[in-house]
Amino acid sequence: MKPESAKQSKSNTRHGISELFINRPITTTLVMVAFVLFGLLGYRALPVSDLPTVDYPTISVNASLPGANPETMAASVATPLERQFSGIAGIDSINSSNSQGSTSVTLQFNLSRNIDAAAQDVQTAISAALPQLPPDMPTPPGLRKVNPADSPILFLSLNSDVLSLPQVDEYAETLIAQRISMVEGVSQVQVYGAMKYAVRVQMDPQALADRGIGVDQVAAAVSNGNPNTPTGSLYGKYT
């Protein structure tokens, strides 16, 4: 008898709720209107963005070895680094890119991985790989935390039929880039495809040998003829 009484009690409860809404249409309508109203208010309060900020745990490691071709960079720099990075916990993918004298290794971690802790593990792996790297590298590999969501969202192209490419580059660097960087909401402005002014020295090996001058002496003379030293410091309210 007890199970039947329990079933009957539940049935009465359901019928009681249904009967309440059927017999009170105004109350039912007000409840439904309240649900719709709160739903609309909640929808308008939702943070919606065309470009949502997503913090991907990504670390980029860069290394340089001047004069080395891409094959040498891949074999002597990228491979030892990747071997050490493969033992770090939480890595989803390892991608490396090698060019003339430069290597870039991108590490993609799980979304649950803390980026600061991952950076410490990557630095430890770099230190472990140093004995296996070429001893003539000018600087040890460096790392930086990056976010793929920070990729450029606007590209501007400059060209001129009158100005040379170095002049266009100087115009973009000194005027356009600085003006755009002051616009509210702009995080960073970068200039790609730049061509800087350069001095090319073509040497005569026989003339150098006759005068007892080495190539390094010529390079030092060119470097000393183009010094770039600070002239002082400026202090003020906004510096």
What distances in angstroms separate CA 32 from CA 27, 37, 107, 140, one per listed residue? 9, 9, 51, 66
Q: Is residue 160 part of a domain?
A: no
Check whether residue 66 and residue 41 sit in a common domain: no
Q: Higher pLDDT residue, 54 or 203? A: 203
Check whether residue 135 and residue 72 sit in a common domain: yes
Q: Which pLDDT band, with edges at 50, 70 and 90, does 49 fall under?
A: low
- The pLDDT of residue 2 is 44
Check whether residue 75 and residue 113 sit in a common domain: yes
Check whether residue 111 and residue 139 sit in a common domain: yes
138: domain range? 58-149
Lookup result for tokens 């971690």: 109
Close Cβ partners of 158 (under 8 Å, ≥ 6 residues apart): 168, 171, 172, 176
Percent of the chain beyond pLDDT 70?
A: 78
Distance CA 213, CA 210 (A): 8
Percent of the chain beyond pLDDT 90?
A: 14
Distance CA 194, CA 76 (A): 29
Q: Higher pLDDT residue, 108 or 25? A: 108
pLDDT at 163 exceeding the cut of 60: yes
